Amino acid sequence: MSVVIYMPLKDGGVDCWRPVHADLVSDDVYEITVEQEPAGEAWAFAPRSLVRCREHIFEDGTQGLLAFQLASSA
């Protein structure tokens, strides 16, 4: 199942996230389906990585799945 997860951006000085598409692999593990980072961005996890996600409440009160850790396997 494809969903939107939020990718932490590195080196921004403030907390920033990029919405990216990912496929549910199992439980809290998602595979990022994006092939390439946009120019000028540094993502916390590489495109096509398996990542663990958890629910997160953002500063504006919205909720979403935040990638927080590489998953070693599904």
Nearest 5°: CA angle at 19, between 18 and 24?
A: 130
Q: Which domain holds residue 23?
A: 2-70
pLDDT digits (tens, 9 = 90+) for 15-64: 899 999 999 999 999 999 999 999 999 999 999 999 999 999 999 999 99
Q: How far is 71 from 57, CA to CA, in rounded Å?
A: 22
Specify the pTM.
0.90
The pLDDT of residue 26 = 92
User: Average pLDDT in the 9-19 region?
Assistant: 86
- Based on the structure, what is the number of domains in the chain? 1
Nearest 5°: CA angle at 38, between 60 and 24?
A: 65
The pLDDT of residue 41 = 93
pLDDT band at 73 (very low <50, low <70, confident <90, very high): low
